[in-house]
Amino acid sequence: MALGGKIITWFNGEWHHGNTPIIGAADHAAWLGSTVFDGARQFEGVRPDLILNCHRIIHSAEMFGMISPVTAQEVFDICEEGCAIFKADAVLYIRPMMWSNQGSPGIIDIVPESTGFSVCIEELAMPEIGAFKLTTSPFRRPRQDMALTTAKAGSLYANNGRIMADARARGFNNALSLDINDNVAETASTNVFTVKDGEVFTPIPNGTFLNGLNRQRIIKLLRADGVKVHEVSMTVQDFNDANEIFCTGNIAKVMPVARFEGRDMGNARLAKHARDLYWDFALSSAHEQSNLI
């Protein structure tokens, strides 16, 4: 699935141009969905927190039972090499991936040593802010004893896809999803925050959704800037009562919500401040970034 413009793919030790085939028809991943991935960004010549994404792809593979054929540092080095193929000012989506090629004699479970690895890098513009509309989904997040919620697994995205499709069909860009206890978890593709009386609130990780790297970074940046950030259990009513709502994720980094259900959300002052803090962090020196990790 090509997302943007120029694409390069690292596979079997070399770079290929275009949407390179990497999985065979009889491979376990094609048949039974044993895939994990991660996503990072390059913009304005920087790749903030890329090494953390490289560590997380290893973690996701391990949670799936795979044995990674590469280290996090090797993933990082390959990503760096690939980004250097593009123009320095290119806006990129950087996606390392792992999958299982073989199943056990029982077919359904994987052979851990059969893990495949690839990195796909695509040109993909950052979304514009100002018109992001959010609703609430009728579909829920699986509990951690129901799915591999501790991994960034491709198998989770069928449910996320129907959350997104339903939201778009109703004229929205994305939707809040709840866990089975009626707590807000995240949207179909991002973590989510509210602002109330100058303080920031976000759902506390409870095992039903990933504690996103951008989520963690924004919490650290806001707290370092003196903003109170609360990680708590949240309901839809908390979003109805919010002064502002914003989302964090890899595609847009920080996205203020312009409309929630039928309500316009106003000027999103603190959400835009969080976005500014992230950009300042991303463009800072490597030494300054390391102090916040």
Q: pLDDT tens-digit profile of 183-238?
A: 999 999 999 999 999 999 999 999 999 999 999 999 999 999 999 999 999 999 99
What pLDDT score does 4 carry?
62
pLDDT above 60 (res 123): yes
Q: Tally helices (H) and strands (E) across the chain.
A: 8, 16
Q: What is the pLDDT of residues 229-258, one digit of tens each?
A: 999 999 999 999 999 999 999 999 999 999
The strand order across the sheet containing 184-187 reads: 184-187, 174-178, 133-140, 259-260, 263-264
pLDDT above 50 (res 291): no
Q: What percent of the chain has pLDDT over 90?
A: 91
What pLDDT score does 14 carry?
97
Taking alpha carbons only, the member of 132, 119, 142, 272 closest to residue 190 is 132
What pLDDT score does 293 carry?
46
Say which residues have a Cβ less than 8 Å from residue 91's Cβ, sequence separation at least 6: 41, 42, 43, 123, 124, 125, 126
Residue type, position 204, single letter: I
What pLDDT score does 285 carry?
55
Q: Worst-scoring range by mean pLDDT, 32-36, 68-72, 259-263, 281-285? A: 281-285
What mean pLDDT value characterizes the chain?
94
What pLDDT score does 147 carry?
92
Burial class (CB in 10 A: 0-12, 13-18, 19+), 251: middle
Q: Averaged over 83-88, what is the pLDDT? A: 96
What pLDDT score does 292 carry?
44
How far from 267 is each of 15, 255, 273, CA to CA, in Å?
Answer: 44, 13, 11
Walk me through the domains of the chain, giving residue ranges and CATH numbers.
7-123 (3.30.470.10), 133-282 (3.20.10.10)
Q: What is the pLDDT of residues 140-159, one digit of tens each?
A: 999 999 999 999 999 999 99
Helix (H/G/I), strand (E/B), else coil: 16: strand
pLDDT above 90 (res 3): no
Instruction: Report d(CA 96, CA 9) in Å as an integer.
Output: 10
What pLDDT score does 108 carry?
86
pLDDT above 70 (res 286): no
Instruction: Report d(CA 267, CA 264) in Å as an integer.
Output: 9
Exposure string over 30-52, b if 16+ CB within 10 A, otherwise e: eeeebbbbbbbbbbeebbbbbbb
What pLDDT score does 53 carry?
98
What pLDDT score does 2 carry?
58
